[in-house]
Structure 1
Amino acid sequence: MEYMSEEGYNKILAELKQLESVDLPRVREAIAEARAQGDLSENFEYHAAKREQGRILSRIRFKQRVLEHARILDRTILETDTVGLLSKVELTNLANNAKMTYMIVSPHEADIKEGKMSIKSPIAQALTGKKAGDTVTVKVPAGTMQLHIDSVTL
């Protein structure tokens, strides 16, 4: 079981519907068209479409499993003063005074470009359970970071 936000759940559900109702029928049509051209042994379009179908079917199965094991987290029961899942955390890197803001989310919702960090990342693991004003030391692939938690909100 994996907890996630309602927004993340709905995004995965929408992607699944897109795969099932648009992408899969499109690739099945491409397979049918390529098959109609005759000799399949040297038909590049047929083999490419079959590979694409396999990729889409695999993606559909993965998304179905994610949704099957997902539980939407009720924000009203979450603590607002400590870092946890769905917390928005403002940080300062003490080495260079760089300010960062991240939302801690499930691994399936993580997107650093959108400011969403996986709860399973080293930084989020170190921050979990901490409060505003705390300083944490985190081992990351590039070395060690010292981060000061400026604020925690939901």
Structure 2
Amino acid sequence: MSAIPLTARGAERLQAELHRLKTKERPEVINAIAEARAQGDLSENAEYDAARERQAFVEGRIQELEGTLSNAQIIDPAALDVEGKAVFGATVEIEDLESGERVTYQIVGDVEADIRANLISVSSPVARALIGKGEGDVVSVKAPAGIREFEVLNVSYL
């Protein structure tokens, strides 16, 4: 399996989720299964079926997180010598040249991308257009509504 790029903050979030699943969720599911078994007949026991389904989800997520973290390559953009250019892990403020709307994104790995938190995947069209660009550069992004142009206002490494 190839290396999975992660920011330090993204790796911390995944570690925290893994810890919560192992120390809180897993024991709760085990208790729920034990309580459902104590009710007797398992063939028509909805609580037992739901607990087993939840257990399968929790165990699957634990395996997924452990695999991701074991193959993670933590990248600290502040340690890179990139001279104000947008790179993996950089936080980039851009302005839509048509609407004037400003937005700030952090370019992260696919695993930690969350558009609601303004964390965009390095493989997204916007991030691919921004990589290597600096303050004052204009980028074109092919969007479903057509080509959009953005100006890079600021690049920082948090």
Structure 2-normalised TM-score? 0.91
Residue 136 of structure 1, aligned match among 125, 139, 143? 139
Give the direction of change, closer, same or farther, for the CA distance of 1:68–1:16 in structure 2 (3 Å limit).
same
- Aligned equivalents of 1:8 and 1:124: distance in 2? 17
Give the direction of change, closer, same or farther, for the CA distance of 1:33–1:78 in structure 2 (3 Å limit).
farther
CA deviation string 1:40-86 (max 9, x = no partner): 11000000000000111111111111101101113312414111111
How far 1:100 moved relative to its partner? 1.0
Match of 1:63 in 2: 65
Match of 2:42 in 1: 40
- Within 5 Å, give how 1:57-136 maps onto structure 2: 57-74=59-76, 75-136=78-139
User: Secondary structure in 1 aligned to 2:111?
Assistant: coil
- Aligned equivalents of 1:77 and 1:135: distance in 2? 23
- Aligned equivalents of 2:10 and 2:53: distance in 1? 28
- Aligned equivalents of 1:21 and 1:84: distance in 2? 35
Structure 1-normalised TM-score? 0.93
> What's the Cα RMSD here?
1.3
Match of 2:54 in 1: 52
Q: Which runs of 5+ in 1 are unaligned?
A: none
CA deviation string 1:82-114 (max 9, x = no partner): 111111111110111111111111122222222
Q: Which amino acid aligns with 1:93?
A: D
Question: Kindly, what percent of the aligned residue pairs are identical?
Answer: 39
Count of residue pairs the alignment pairs up: 154
Moved over 4 A (4+): none
Q: Is the 8 A contact 1:80 1:153 kept in 2?
A: no
User: Secondary structure in 2 aligned to 1:108?
Assistant: helix
Match of 2:13 in 1: 11
Q: Is the 8 A contact 1:80 1:87 kept in 2?
A: no
- Aligned equivalents of 2:115 and 2:156: distance in 1? 18
- Aligned equivalents of 1:57 and 1:78: distance in 2? 40
User: Secondary structure in 1 aligned to 2:98?
Assistant: coil
